[in-house]
Structure 1
Amino acid sequence: MRPLAAILAGGLMLVWPAFLSGYPLVFSDTSAFVHQTLGPLMIWDKPWIYGPLIFPLHWHRSLWPVVLAQGLMLSHLLWLAARAFGGGAGPGRHLLLCAVLAALTAAPFSAALVMPDALTPAVVLCALLLGFGRAALSRREAAWLGLLAAAGTAAHLSNLPVLGTLAVVSVLAGWRAAARVALPLAAAVALLLLTNFVGHGRAALSPYGATFLLARMVANGPAIRTIEARCPEAGWALCAARGALAPYGPGACAARRCSRDMLASDILLWDPDSPINRDGAGEPREFGGRALAGEAGTIIRATLAREPFAVALDAARDTLAQLFSNRVGDTLERRHVGESLVWHLAGFGPVEAARLRAGAQWRGDLPGLVAPLLWVQGPVLALGALGLAVLGWRGRRERAALGFALGIGAAVLANAFATGALSGPHDRYGARLAWVLVAGAAVLSFRRQPAGGAAGAVTAAGRPSSAAGSAAPARGGSPHAA
């Protein structure tokens, strides 16, 4: 019972911002995911995955079980990571690990948020455990991690390149290890193709996702130049907006209401008065992003053909910007919640809507409450990244330790590209995963480094060494106690 109690306690630690606020943290998109179980079920810009996943937890009664389950999920994955890569799991070190992550990183702000953000670090940890830590897992645990990785990857499209990257990294542990990671990726792809075919009539990973990349190319400039060069002969609907796109292009944020969490590309996508959401006559274009998705794909291909190096340079610049955008920001502020969530929670009953309104986030008090705790996250993240690199290098002779460190670094880089380059740098996208750098360094620091070799080592055959097999039960009970 001690391991179970430690995992439960760790899960509660990892969602403390919800307890401080008095209600689970929410975002404007939270209402869309709740709406996915109310109808109409399919929403053009989001996979039909996260909403159905959390429905058995809230059952249109309360969102509290959602964040509690997310905290428990991450706590369990950290327990398994310590067992596989830290030389063994134990209640004391697990509680210490969760306490450090809860107090010094952005982990609890993602875990306490009713959004698929918590699933990105879950996907990464699942993949690393399947790829490099399989010897420490039971069959049931491996099956559970595979299912979780598949569902978590399908829940947010940016997780597809992240898991794909980890499948490639897992080749370091052998083709079988890579196959164990690739299988959930294939399942996620199949799930997205199926749900989009049923809901949208199109067997595509993202039937209307081209609009998001087009908005980013407009914000960076190349797409504007393509439209100016090809219009009006191309006959695109956006040809009528040639002169109106400049305010959303390079330098636009100097004159518009841009911020770290609201870029020019976001305004272009969602502002009711933007060229995407207004036709040439100035009339509203219903679901403009969806309506222009086919044209957006054509403009993207034309832009890549005209300016491939400019697009690549912009992507690299946005990826780098995303790597350094890791602050806890738009997960806290009232202005990003939206009134529509109250309308959706009305279906939960008047008590739930009242709880939302009584929370510190809705009142606008949450940023001030947590501000004294946030300054340390930057220095801790830098130290965690450095520590992970050093410990990974020191353990380079051990496939598990080296793969764990390399995998975390590769996942952070892949996440930065998938979000920064394809959508635009946002702090929330970086903060949801960057804390795993600190977690990885902490886990590897648990490993004992005797002169003759490290405890918890994994042999070339992928099985625990005799030292690992004897040490793990001494600290964490049976290898499969959790």
Structure 2
Amino acid sequence: GSSLSWTAAQVMPDIFTPLMVLAFAILVLAPQGAAGLIVPAMVIGLAILVHLSNMPIYAGLCLCVLPLRALRQRVRWRPLLLPFLLGIAGLTAVNAIARGRISPSPYGGTFLLARLIENGPARTTLAHDCPKAGWALCAYRGDLPRTADGFLWRADSPLYRAGGPRRLIDQTDAIVRRTIVEHPAAVLGAAMRDFGLQLMIFSPGSGLRPWYATAWQTIRRDLPQTAYAAYLASRQARGRMAVPPLLAAFVQALAVGGMGLTCGFALYAAAARRLRPEAASLGLFCWIVVLALAGNAAVTGALSGPHARYQSRMVWLTVLAGWLVLRQIQAGCRSRPTSNTT
């Protein structure tokens, strides 16, 4: 009944983002001894290692719970920071070995350039500074794809015709810097628009379309012929993996209901002066879920562009939190004293 099963079933690292949020909540809400911290810390470190977006999302969660030290909750920071540092170290080591660049995100500028091209500011920069800037992409400024996905993943994209991400990384970083400096208002406005749109769009099973112009071409070019034949025979390649509309509508409605319960209880817990310990913990968990949804939308929407898959990987947490809120309400009703009249 939620997007969890669709997220977990895809051969993608998306499932680690909500698991990272749950591990973070465990470290904040259920402080344990050293042995009890191992599994949550491993989940967080692995999540940061397998998907670049998890690093800023986790950093944002840590920064948002910092004020709790001055309030009723007291947060231990070492258990929160250690897996974060280990994840960054692992990500940097992998890139140093595989790419020869000591950085947790050696090609982050390429993704940001793709976003700026789709939104328009980078096109303006290329039109103004080319050809005198000497960038390889200047030769293709009139042939840039309309979307960021087209720039990043199409086999015939100017990105690859001009030399590929590795060879162009210094130039792409330079274009991004020039665009941000010269058009800050346009860049910020587009980022805020993408953030708002990413908050609202989610759908189970998104991303399971055939991908004719991107993955299809890469599989044919880089993998054995047997693998390409197997892909052509798959349900995904034949366009037979679409989610039934009625099921998609049910999952979306359930997520929206969960969001309402989660946000409502989070606000109630923040306004209430006195709460039972379990209710206070649930209120903080609801805030963590709300902050994680906002952080996920900000990072993925602004940097990669709004995609239903990005928010779908997270919205099942609102179903979980909403269910816990209903259980809390039920428990409160049962424990409320009643009066009998005679």
Cα offset, 1:182, TM superposition = 2.2
TM-score scaled by length of structure 1? 0.61
User: What are the ranges of 5 or more consecutive residues in structure 1 without an aligned counterpart?
Assistant: 1-102, 253-263, 280-284, 454-482
Task: Name the CA distance, whole Å, in 2 between partners of 1:127 and 1:216.
Answer: 29
- Aligned 8 A contact 1:265 1:424 in 2: yes
- Is residue 160 of structure 2 the alignment partner of residue 270 of structure 1? no
Task: Name the CA distance, whole Å, in 1 between partners of 2:140 and 2:166.
Answer: 17
Greater displacement, 358-367 / 414-423: 358-367
Which residue does the alignment assign to 1:66? none
Which residue does the alignment assign to 1:163? 58
- Is residue 92 of structure 2 the alignment partner of residue 193 of structure 1? yes
Which residue does the alignment assign to 2:339? none
* C-alpha distance after superposition, 1:162-217 (max 9, x if no partner): 11111123325436434322221111111111111122221101112211100110
**Could you tell me which of 198, 202, 209 is aligned with 1:333?**
209
**One-letter code aligned to 1:140:** A
Matches within 5 A, 1:427-466: 427-447=308-328, 448-449=331-332
**One-letter code aligned to 1:304:** I
Residue 344 to residue 307, structure 1, CA distance change in 2 (3 Å): closer
SS in 2 for 1:149: helix
Residue 358 to residue 272, structure 1, CA distance change in 2 (3 Å): closer
Residue 226 to residue 335, structure 1, CA distance change in 2 (3 Å): closer
Task: Name the CA distance, whole Å, in 1 between partners of 2:133 and 2:236.
Answer: 47
Which residue does the alignment assign to 1:59? none
**One-letter code aligned to 1:170:** V
**Could you tell me which of 7, 11, 22 is aligned with 1:114?**
11
Cα offset, 1:227, TM superposition = 1.6
User: What are the ranges of 5 or more consecutive residues in structure 2 without an aligned counterpart?
Assistant: 337-342
Cα offset, 1:139, TM superposition = 4.5
Which residue does the alignment assign to 1:412? 293
SS in 1 for 2:142: helix
Residue 274 to residue 353, structure 1, CA distance change in 2 (3 Å): closer
Task: Name the CA distance, whole Å, in 2 between partners of 1:354 and 1:362.
Answer: 10
Residue 403 to residue 169, structure 1, CA distance change in 2 (3 Å): farther
Which residue does the alignment assign to 2:195? 319
**Aligned residue pairs, count:** 321
Residue 229 to residue 364, structure 1, CA distance change in 2 (3 Å): closer
Cα offset, 1:359, TM superposition = 6.0
Task: Name the CA distance, whole Å, in 1 between partners of 2:59 and 2:171.
Answer: 28
Cα offset, 1:449, TM superposition = 2.5
**Could you tell me which of 91, 110, 113 is aligned with 1:211?**
110
* C-alpha distance after superposition, 1:457-476 (max 9, x if no partner): xxxxxxxxxxxxxxxxxxxx
Matches within 5 A, 1:17-416: 103=1, 105-134=2-31, 139-174=34-69, 176-245=75-144, 248=145, 252=146, 264-279=147-162, 285=163, 288-335=164-211, 338=216, 360-361=235-236, 363-367=238-242, 370-396=244-270, 397=275, 399-416=280-297
Task: Name the CA distance, whole Å, in 2 between partners of 1:452 and 1:406.
Answer: 25
Cα offset, 1:377, TM superposition = 1.8
- Aligned 8 A contact 2:255 2:316 in 1: yes
Task: Name the CA distance, whole Å, in 1 between partners of 2:303 and 2:216.
Answer: 25
RMSD (Å), alpha carbons? 2.9
**One-letter code aligned to 1:395:** A
* C-alpha distance after superposition, 1:344-382 (max 9, x if no partner): 9989xx9x99997776445533326x4432111222111
- Aligned 8 A contact 1:170 1:181 in 2: no
Task: Name the CA distance, whole Å, in 2 between partners of 1:450 and 1:146.
Answer: 37
Residue 233 to residue 341, structure 1, CA distance change in 2 (3 Å): closer
Percent identity, please: 31
Task: Name the CA distance, whole Å, in 2 between partners of 1:301 and 1:320.
Answer: 24
* C-alpha distance after superposition, 1:52-104 (max 9, x if no partner): xxxxxxxxxxxxxxxxxxxxxxxxxxxxxxxxxxxxxxxxxxxxxxxxxxx2x
Cα offset, 1:230, TM superposition = 1.9
- Aligned 8 A contact 1:168 1:178 in 2: no
**One-letter code aligned to 2:250:** V
